[in-house]
Amino acid sequence: MRYVYFYNTGIKELGTLGIGACEDKITDLFFEYEMENVKKNKNYIIKETPLIKKAASQLFEYLNGKRKEFDLPLLKDGTDFQISVWNELLKIPYGETRSYKDIAVAINNEKAVRAVGMANNRNKISIFIPCHRVIGSSKKLIGYGGGLEIKEFLLNLEKKELPQKN
């Protein structure tokens, strides 16, 4: 059984987010543009489970600058390659970015830059698995399921919380 519950973030760039879960793992994070399809999807029951409530609490702490890492059980539903990319994304420190090539090199598959991009695209638990921290090697923002405005917002949120260097 899969559950989903929706939260208004009160943040213009994010709007309402949906958090999906099965019994014991977070499975999805839905952006506002996905809401109608999710609400019509008979595979989801709209219910705030204790796990979804915990994920929402941590998400709001993150959005308020009080949390830098999530402590949640995540269902990484993908191929072995995709899971290796997602695991590498989880290693990117708060406030830092990596290029798609950096990730490809880190998983010992330096020619798989485009495949890393596709794995990012297939990440159903964005923000919790921080694919927003992956940028182009030119340092430009490229590709994000929620849209580049949200990616930029999340990166700026994390940048603000970093201590200033002298």
| Tens digits of residue pLDDT in 114-124 | 999 999 999 99
The CA angle 122-148-118, to the nearest 5 degrees, is 25
Distance CA 134, CA 100 (A): 6
Considering the chain, what is the average pLDDT of its residues?
90
Q: What is the mean pLDDT of residues 101-110?
A: 95
Q: What pLDDT sits at residue 136?
A: 77
Strand 44-46 and strand 2-8: the pairing is parallel
Kind plus residue range of the DSSP H or E element containing 50? helix 50-63
- Token output for 142: 């490229």
**40-78 tens-digit pLDDT:** 888 999 999 999 999 999 999 999 999 999 999 999 999
All domains in the chain, ordered by first residue: 2-63 (no CATH), 80-161 (1.10.10.10)
Q: Which two tokens stand for residue 144?
A: 């994000």
Distance CA 141, CA 87 (A): 21
Contacts for 35-40: CB closer than 8 Å, 24+ residues apart: 35/6, 38/4
Q: Could you list the active site residues?
A: 131
Residue 134 has pLDDT above 70, yes or no: yes
Distance, in Å, from the CA atom of 74 to the CA atom of 20, rounded to the nearest integer, reads 10
Model confidence band, residue 127 (pLDDT cutoffs 50, 70, 90): very high
| Whether residue 164 has pLDDT greater than 60 | no
